[in-house]
Structure 1
Amino acid sequence: MTEGTRRWRLALGRYAKDNLGGLGGQDQKMDQALDYLYAREYDQRGLERDRGAGSLDPTQMQALTWLGKAKGLFPNTVFETLQGHALDRYGLTDLLKDPKTLESLEPNQDLLKVLLGYHDRADPAIRAKLREVADKIIRDIMERLRHDVMRAFSGRRNRFRRSNIPSAANFDWRNTLRENLKTYDPETSRIIAQTLRFNSREKRKLPWTVVLCVDQSGSMTDSVIHSAVMAAILCGLPGITVKMVLFDTSIIDVSDKLTDPLDTLLSVQLGGGTNIGRAVTYCEDFIQDPERTVFALISDFAEGASPRTLYAALARMAEARVRMVGLVALDDQSAPYFDGTIAGRAADLGMHVGAMTPNKFADWLAEIMT
């Protein structure tokens, strides 16, 4: 199937299957997502639509699941159009107008993304309930991530000090083998371990400043959510100062809201252009002790302005020996889309660039804060 035929097939929907052929893989999922939304045209025109075995009949849960899946299937500009049609043209927001319906929904991150996008549109009477549901989802995410962060910051293993506290995480297998070689049993080909060795753990030398510079464009919603949660957790650690800005072409400094991730997320204005260089330059003002500062840029690196300002700011930070990391995705999936040219240039300037799950990001922070 040519690219032109594929596009027509997606535009015309499943009724073009006989003439243009079927779809598979990701294209099939896109076709189902489009059909779920736009088949409502038949209902509005009073026509009977085909509800075959493969149809996606609307239910409360499917509407919200659809929004989450569609966001991952389509480019941001396309998804914004689909979401606008879903909320305004086809009235799917009715699901979010009844507090009883909200109570019956399963709280999850896909629902949180929908609530964040809908909060400003909601009737004043329903906003409190939306906030209550969103707050519960965020608390669940925080509890899941807090353990990973606290584990990472509990101290790194010190192989030059011994510990009498047995722990699988601290087990020193090299020295255990070395000290028990004399108990080797040739008949069973086994070492009878009479003495076990464990590494001790060091406390980290703080303070540090962590600066989170977060792209709030629509494609980064999952990363924005996890950034807000990570910021709240890091704020609770002794000796760590956290600063955070959200940006598109404008900049929102949310450093005074970080203890409440929901307040941070309600400051998000998804969509718009992107001026990364301006945001990074703004963040330079947070850097008081460069060698004790971590700068984390969470972005798809799709710079809308000239990248020269961005490159210059990163070069200044690198020269000052700021620890820099560029996260093209900070979520559980770590399936990023990003501008490889600009990200590659950032890496050449000394920035560690990659996609990370939140627990890996915590490990990375803990590793360098020694």
Structure 2
Amino acid sequence: MTDEAEVLRRWRMVLGGYAQPALDGVRLNAQDARADRALDYLYARELEGRGLKRGKDRKGSLDPSQLTALGWLAEVRALFPQSVLETVQAHAIDRLGMSELLRDPALLGALEPNRDLLKALISFKGRANPQVQDKIREIARKVVEEILQRLRPRVLQALSGHVNRSRRSPRKSMQNFDWRATIRDNLKNYDTTRGVIVADRLRFFARSERRMPWRIILCVDQSGSMLDSTLFAAVMAAILTGLPSLDVKLVVFDTSVVDLSAEAHDPVSVLMSVQLGGGTDICRAVTYCEQLVEQPTRTVFVLLSDFCEGGPVSPLLAAVRRLNAARVKLIGLAALGEGATPEYDRATAERLQAAGMQVAALTPDRFADWLGQVIA
């Protein structure tokens, strides 16, 4: 694309569909067209409300179906960086009619609870009236309960016990079958005619309950870009809190640090407490969590963040090195969710890894497996 064509494309994106007659030669690619459609949904209706009409009449076409308010929210979240998203959502409260949604519990009650709806409502909950806040909480509880029912059995299986290869059990489970011991104990029954061992005693590994005097510190970045991960972190905290052998601390942060450990058993209360947006001071949060470490060798520190540090990175690295030197188990999660598709500062993540923190993006069940391996 030539410099002139690029300039015209940018002007077309800035001015929107009303500029199309004057810039008729400008062609938008698929990504630009999505962004233009999403912005048009918000800003064009404001101009139409002022009486401004498009230069050309709309005609039938094969354009995508009209966006809904919730569909628009999903689009802008997918298309724009967090800084732009926050600005556009703020405009939406006043211009899109989202304020009507936040004033009408009956309208919320007519919507099917789902994760996308919950994330959208959490984004706006600070501006909702008390009656709508109650409805948001009700929706949150339904969505969270559905996630808990799916995840809890898998997480408990990963954390409740491990194979103990030092003692035997008669439990007839092929998962625990000890074929080496079975062969060894039945060599005397070798049938020379058929060339096989006739096993009259089968051996199985026993499963023992894991004694885990571990403290799990979940330090969660509550910036808007981490909303999906925050949802799953709240659910995981509730599941882990239900294990009597674990002591769970839950801390959320932006530029401030809030200790929600007392609410960790209730993911809905956690979600209703988070404050999305603002800056990010990871170092301050990690430094606070250092104070929660009582037995370093029995502590797992989990930092869930996009690693976009708002201040200098050096103090953050120093805090991580201190924890690592004390032999705290360090896990950095760039994303926690069913998709586990992260957008994060790779340079900072690599420096954290060099300082002693393992870094990954995981689904909740894989996180449970990893946690189980760490505290085995």
TM range (shorter): 0.7 to 0.9
Aligned partner letter, 1:36: Y
Alignment-derived partner of residue 46 in structure 2: 41
Q: Distance in 2 between matches of 1:151 and 1:339?
A: 33
Q: TM-score, normalised by structure 2?
A: 0.85
CA gap 1:43/1:264 in 2 versus in 1, 3 angstroms: same
Distance 1:160 1:114, change over 3 A: same
From 366, 369, 373, the equivalent of 1:363 is 369
Query: Does the CA-based 8 Å contact 1:209-1:241 persist in structure 2?
Result: yes
Q: Supply the distance in 2 between the matched residues of 1:192 and 1:352 (Cα, whole angstroms).
A: 48
What is the deviation of 1:130? 2.0
Q: Is the 8 A contact 2:118 2:136 kept in 1?
A: no
SS of residue paired to 1:19: coil
Q: Counterparts in 2 of 1:113-192, with a 5 A limit?
A: 113-159=119-165, 161-167=167-173, 169-170=175-176
Partner of 2:335: 329
Aligned residues: 360
1:334 is paired with a residue of what secondary structure? Answer: coil
SS of the aligned residue for 1:201 comes to strand
CA distance in 1 between counterparts of 2:263 and 2:142 reads 18
Distance 1:171 1:11 in 2: 66
Is 1:91 matched up with 2:91? no
Tell me the equivalent position of 2:351: 345
Deviation per residue, 1:54-109 (Å, 9 max, x gap): 14425xxx312321332132100011112112222121232343333222212111
Q: Would you say 1:232 and 2:238 are equivalent positions?
A: yes
| Amino acid across the alignment from 1:263 | S
Q: Is the 8 A contact 2:9 2:27 kept in 1?
A: no
Aligned equivalents of 2:148 and 2:9: distance in 1?
Answer: 42
**Percentage of identical aligned residues:** 50
Say which of 29, 36, 54 aligns to 2:63: 54
Determine whether 1:312 maps to 2:296: no
Deviations 1:260-318 (A, max 9, x none): 11211222111111111111011001100000000001111111111122111111111
The SS at the match of 2:359 is strand
CA contact (8 A) 2:218 2:301 kept: yes
Does the residue aligned with 2:331 lie in a helix, a strand or coil? Answer: strand
Instruction: State yes or no: 1:11 paired with 2:14.
Output: yes
Aligned residues of 1:215 and 1:299 also touching (Cα < 8 A): yes
Distance across 1 between alignment mates of 2:163 and 2:154: 16
1:88 maps to a residue whose letter is D
One-letter amino acid of the structure 2 residue matched with residue 281 of structure 1? T
- 1:23-62 CA deviation, whole Å, 9 max, x = no partner? 23x444434333333332354134367374314425xxx3
Gaps of 5+ in 2: none
CA deviation map 1:301-355 (0-9, x unaligned): 1111111221111111111100000111111111111111211111011100111
Q: Is the 8 A contact 2:307 2:349 kept in 1?
A: yes
Q: 8 Å contact 1:206–1:240 — kept in the other structure? A: yes
Name stretches of at least 5 consecutive residues in structure 1 with no aligned partner: none
Q: Deviations over 1:187-243 (max 9, x none)?
A: xxxx99999765432321211000011111111111111111111110000110111
Pairwise mapping of residues 272-291 of structure 1 onto structure 2 (< 5 A)?
272-291=278-297
In structure 2, distance between residues paired with 1:172 and 1:28: 61
Secondary structure of 1:337's aligned partner: coil
Q: TM-score with structure 1 length normalisation?
A: 0.86
Q: Cα RMSD (Å) of the superposition?
A: 3.1
Change (3 A) 1:101 1:343: same
Compare 236-245 and 67-76 and name the one that shifted more: 67-76
Q: Distance in 1 between matches of 2:198 and 2:107?
A: 62
Among residues 220, 229, 232, which one is paired with 2:226 in the alignment? 220
Q: Distance in 1 between matches of 2:355 and 2:8?
A: 43
SS in structure 1 opposite 2:216? strand
> How many Å separate the matches in 1 of 2:34 and 2:180?
50
Contact 1:115 1:134 in 2 (8 A): no
Q: Residues 102 and 127 of structure 2 are in contact (CA less than 8 Å); yes or no, is this contact kept in structure 1?
A: no
